[in-house]
Amino acid sequence: MFTMLTLSLLTILICYIVMTLASIISKKTITDREKNSPYECGFDPKGSARFPFSLRFFLIAVIFLIFDVEITLLLPLASIFNVTKVFSWLITSALFLLILLLGLYYEWAQGALEWSE
């Protein structure tokens, strides 16, 4: 038990030292106006290099990722059908699908699925 605690503390100490050294070494000491500006063939930029990000696009991407993960959670339900009892399989899959449908209804009610506005 004591050796495990010692090794854990030693690992944390080594990680802290490496992160501190990396942050000290990576500091830029020379700042150049041209190197800090966005690249536009050597000319001064005409506008801001940072455009406002579309929050609607971000929400659609997050919804897509959530449903993509849900599909990967649904796929094993078909393969465990023969291994488990039918009643427990039905309850589990119905509860999971109900949670998914409630989430979809909530997103629909909040207007997150509206493309045009």
Q: What gap in Å lies between CA 7 and CA 13, rounded to an integer?
A: 10
Q: What gap in Å lies between CA 23 and CA 89, rounded to an integer?
A: 51
> Which residues does 43 contact at the CB level (< 8 Å), separation at least 6?
none
Is there a contact between 45 and 37 (Cβ–Cβ < 8 Å)?
yes
* pLDDT (mean) for 75-82: 86
Chain length of the chain: 117
- Rounded to whole angstroms, the maximal C-alpha distance in the chain is 70
Determine how many CB atoms are found less than 10 A away from the CB of residue 42: 7
Determine how many CB atoms are found less than 10 A away from the CB of residue 61: 11
The percent of residues in the chain predicted with pLDDT above 70, rounded, is: 76
* pLDDT (mean) for 64-86: 86
List pLDDT tens digits, range 26-71.
866 566 666 666 665 666 556 666 667 777 788 788 888 888 888 8
- Domain spans of the chain, in order of start: 55-110
Would you state the pLDDT for residue 59?
A: 78
The pTM score is 0.48
